[in-house]
Amino acid sequence: MAAGPLETILNPSSIALAGASNTIGKMGTIQMLNLIDSGFPGEIMPVHPRESEVLGKKAYPAIADLPFAPELAILVVPTALVPGMLEDFGKLGTRHAIVITAGFKETGEEGRDLESRIIEIAHTYGIRFLGPNCLGVVNTHLPLNVTVAPILGYGGGLSLASQSGTYIAQTVQFLHRNGIVLGKAISVGNEADIDITDCLEYLGQDDHTKAIGMYIEGIRDAGRFLRVARRVSRRKPIVAQYVGGTEAGARSGSSHTGAIAGPDYIYDGLFEQAGIVRVGTIEEVYRTGWALATQPQLKGPRIAVLTNSGGPGSGIATTLNAAGLEVPEFSDAVQEQVSQYLPGHASARNPVDLTFHIDMEALTVKIPEILFSADEIDGIIIHGIMDTGFMDLLYPSVSKHIDITQEEFLKYGEISLDELLAMPGTHGKPLLISSFFDESDHCVQLFHKGSIPTFDSPEKAAKAMWALYKHCLFRQRNASPPAKRARGMIPAQAQEIFSSRSRAGMDEYAAKQLLKAYGIPATEEFLAASREDALKAAHRIGFPVAVKACSPSISHKTEHGLVFLDVEDEDAVSRAFDTIRAYDPDTPVLVAEMLKGKREFMAGVSYHPGFPPCVMFGLGGIFAEAHQDFAFRLAPLSREDAREMIDSLRARAILGTYRNMEQVDLDALADILVRLGDIALDFPGIKEIDLNPIIIVGGAPKVADSLMIIP
């Protein structure tokens, strides 16, 4: 893989740690203990002004006293000492650092100034660093651990980039109990230098990383994040939790790492566009990420469900269907094969329900082999495999009547899972396990050792299978990024319109002329300086027409009574013209084509800090805000991005042949969205664009009203 600062930070040959001592309970001491106990193969050099030895390692009173420049410096010292120590490492020749210390921009203006100071020092000496206000990194493949928690598992394929240090430190017991093994984990802290996008790019190239988990509170450069994530998600799955989309979440993130959050729906669009599987909890990041890291890629939506109980089978099937996956009824041939291993009352249709069949061989070998071998199945979920966990529950009753030790009884109940554990790799299909037992059950232990994901509820297993399917869909879509636009690609007519209107403001007529210059269809219309001009325009267009006030200073014309629709004759045109001029004698009057269509949509562009222009598409008309059925993507858009926006609407059914209405020209609709994004990028001086409504006429979309705001 290409060399970069994180390659050295996660694979250093030598480390100097400032802040460790022989006092147990100090953060720096705990981190050095974990560094030593992780089995780090390189040299460790503690820096301490008074101790000659720290945790059995020779200590050095000052950074300048180190025998050579370490590849990585770690600072766990009081905030005020960080700038001077970072500079001392720079003078010595160290070019990589992790600043664990907190107390910087997350604390306010004084901390922000101090953070600017360490950034300046780092630039002066060419130092690349993580933090400040982070909890370090883990690389279980080296191994390396400079966090506050020990490593309990080595060599995993799931790697994590997190804007919370807790999620790479306090979760080790949870991960261990659930058989999840991290490969690499990076706490980014305040991202003063290396940010979460850098981590994503690095992990995307890392050979050990099979799937990437992310915890995100805010992204500062969403455009770069999108470009990197698009590339990475084509090679390996990414699963992420974003928590800044609410007022409380944004406030917490800001005080935590100084993160800049954005609206939740913008991140929905960003993750979809980038090919990232979004989940709601950090537990799902770990569990789903582990499934994505360990299982063969799901190639289609057809899932087989095998259980020894009807309830879990129904729960799995319902959750799968609700997420868009299929639980198809098996073919007669497969049902016939499965039936020979079922009791007479059991179903072989899918889900396969053994109804608490005690013989585990049917559940673990015979039926799974049939399902894995069937071409009509893409993935399998099994619930109910157990041995010693259940036997342990029975033992108190058994021991009253049979003379057998608990150890003998549990050993008697153990089953082998060797054949089942091999099936995903042999057949290239994912296997997920649902079990109400934990690691005290021998079967769960075997699943963990065999890297088969286990879930403590049927629905969680089904949701994880949805994530595998989501990544399957991401892999199948057109991977072509949006075409790059050069300044010379701006239509000359559009440039002329913008230049002539940018000072006075963009009225509806000018906005539509700009749209037309980009090939976006809009109503035929004329500006009328007099009543006579208005009448001529109406006859030229053909009755009925729309008559509107046309001024950039009037953004809500309907509320002011300045929009007249279905104007059917000359008298009505004259009355509309006179009403508008009575409101303001200088307001231009627009006479426009009156569109007839039952389906109305809207599109627009909005701006958010750290994001490129955001293109919106959704249901339009006067009830647009009430419906709240819309999608967002970041400009520039590819045709695939635009089509996905359209397909994501809850009301997408009305785009088809609906109640005697024609199929909507989806390509034409997608072109509007792509070109709308181009306009936003070509003319950053336009701060808001609103096309509402876009009316479908004979299947073709056409813009009936447009608002463009230039501050």
Q: Quick: pLDDT tens for 216-237.
A: 999 999 999 999 999 999 999 9
Token pair listed for 649:
């609407």
The Cα-based distances of 488 to 494, 638, 676 in angstroms read: 12, 19, 17
Q: Last residue of a domain, which of 593, 618, 652?
A: 593
Q: Report pLDDT digits (tens) over 313-328.
A: 999 999 999 999 999 9
Q: What is the pLDDT of residue 261?
A: 58
- Residue pair 146/136 in contact by the 8 Å Cβ criterion: yes
Q: What is the CATH number of the domain that holds 319?
A: 3.40.50.261
Distance of CA 229 to the CA centre of its chain: 9
Q: Report pLDDT digits (tens) over 653-707.
A: 999 988 888 999 999 999 999 999 999 999 999 999 999 999 999 999 999 999 9
Name which of 199-208, 250-259, 379-388, 390-399 the model is least confident about: 250-259
Name which of 392-396, 498-502, 644-648 the model is least confident about: 498-502
| Element housing 54 (H / E) | strand 53-54
Per the model's pLDDT, the better-predicted residue between 407 and 504 turns out to be 407
Q: What is the pLDDT of residue 250?
A: 47
Inside any domain, residue 481: no
Distance of CA 112 to the CA centre of its chain: 29
How far apart are alpha carbons 567 and 594 in whole angstroms? 8
429 plus 443 within the same structural domain: yes
Q: DSSP alpha helices (H): ranges in 504-623?
A: 508-517, 531-541, 570-583
The Cα-based distances of 617 to 600, 604, 677, 696 in angstroms read: 11, 7, 11, 14
Indicate the length of the chain as a whole number. 711
pLDDT above 80 for 503: no
Inside any domain, residue 250: yes
With cut-offs at 50, 70 and 90, classify the pLDDT of residue 246. Answer: low
How far apart are alpha carbons 374 and 385 in whole angstroms? 21
Q: What is the DSSP string of 451-462?
A: T--EESSHHHHH
36 plus 161 within the same structural domain: yes
For residue 83, the SS3 value is helix
Angle, alpha carbons 125-258-98 (nearest 5°): 35
Per the model's pLDDT, the better-predicted residue between 409 and 237 turns out to be 237
How far apart are alpha carbons 382 and 421 in whole angstroms? 12
pLDDT above 80 for 344: no
How far apart are alpha carbons 290 and 175 in whole angstroms? 10
407 plus 510 within the same structural domain: no
With cut-offs at 50, 70 and 90, classify the pLDDT of residue 505. Answer: confident
Q: Last residue of a domain, which of 276, 292, 308?
A: 292
Token pair listed for 143:
């191994």
Provide long-range contacts, Cβ within 8 A and 24+ apart, for 320-329: 320/381, 320/462, 320/465, 320/466, 323/462, 323/463, 323/466, 323/469, 324/466, 324/469, 325/301, 325/465, 325/466, 325/469, 326/301, 326/302, 327/303, 327/351, 328/302, 328/376
Q: pLDDT over 70 for what percent of the chain?
A: 95
Angle, alpha carbons 376-377-378 (nearest 5°): 125
Q: Report pLDDT digits (tens) over 151-167.
A: 999 999 999 999 999 99
Other Cβ atoms within 10 Å of 533 Cβ, number: 15
Q: What is the pLDDT of residue 78?
A: 97
Provide long-range contacts, Cβ within 8 A and 24+ apart, for 26-33: 27/76, 27/100, 27/148, 28/76, 28/77, 28/100, 29/54, 29/55, 30/148, 31/74, 31/76, 31/100, 31/136, 31/146, 31/147, 31/148, 32/57
How far apart are alpha carbons 286 and 293 in whole angstroms? 10
How far apart are alpha carbons 653 and 665 in whole angstroms? 13
Segment 70-97 shows an average pLDDT of 98
Inside any domain, residue 219: yes
Q: Last residue of a domain, which of 244, 276, 292?
A: 292
Mean pLDDT of the chain: 93
428 plus 467 within the same structural domain: yes
Inside any domain, residue 69: yes
663 plus 687 within the same structural domain: yes
Segment 127-147 shows an average pLDDT of 97
Inside any domain, residue 235: yes
179 plus 249 within the same structural domain: yes
With cut-offs at 50, 70 and 90, classify the pLDDT of residue 599. Answer: very high
- Cβ density class 138-160: b for 16+ within 10 Å, e for less: bbbbbbbbbbbbebeeeebbbbb
113 plus 19 within the same structural domain: yes
pTM: 0.92
How far apart are alpha carbons 530 and 541 in whole angstroms? 17
How far apart are alpha carbons 705 and 595 in whole angstroms? 11
| CB proximity list for 287: less than 8 A, separation 6 or greater | 178, 180, 453, 455, 460, 464
501 plus 614 within the same structural domain: no
Q: What is the CATH number of the domain that holds 699?
A: 3.30.470.20
673 plus 626 within the same structural domain: yes
With cut-offs at 50, 70 and 90, classify the pLDDT of residue 27. Answer: very high
Inside any domain, residue 305: yes
Q: What is the CATH number of the domain that holds 526?
A: 3.30.1490.20
Q: What is the pLDDT of residue 321?
A: 98
Residue 664 DSSP label: P
- Residue pair 81/68 in contact by the 8 Å Cβ criterion: no
How far apart are alpha carbons 197 and 191 in whole angstroms? 10
Domain range for 694 is 600-709
How far apart are alpha carbons 396 and 391 in whole angstroms? 10
- Residue pair 277/470 in contact by the 8 Å Cβ criterion: yes
573 plus 678 within the same structural domain: no
Q: What is the pLDDT of residue 449?
A: 97
For residue 307, the SS3 value is strand
| Element housing 680 (H / E) | helix 666-682
With cut-offs at 50, 70 and 90, classify the pLDDT of residue 258. Answer: very low
Inside any domain, residue 482: no
Other Cβ atoms within 10 Å of 116 Cβ, number: 13
Segment 124-129 shows an average pLDDT of 98
Domains identified in the chain, total number: 4
Segment 566-578 shows an average pLDDT of 97
Strands (E), 345-496: 352-353, 379-383, 431-434, 454-455
- Residue pair 366/419 in contact by the 8 Å Cβ criterion: no
Name which of 249-253, 293-297, 450-454 the model is least confident about: 249-253
Inside any domain, residue 192: yes
284 plus 300 within the same structural domain: no
685 plus 654 within the same structural domain: yes
With cut-offs at 50, 70 and 90, classify the pLDDT of residue 193. Answer: very high
Segment 557-564 shows an average pLDDT of 90
Q: In what order do the strands lie in the sheet with 545-549?
A: 525-528, 589-593, 545-549, 563-567
Segment 454-459 shows an average pLDDT of 98
| Element housing 293 (H / E) | helix 282-294
What percentage of the chain's residues is helix, strand, coil (to nearest 5)? 40, 20, 40
Q: pLDDT over 90 for what percent of the chain?
A: 86
Q: What is the pLDDT of residue 343?
A: 84
Q: Cis link prior to 544 (omega < 30° from 0)?
A: yes
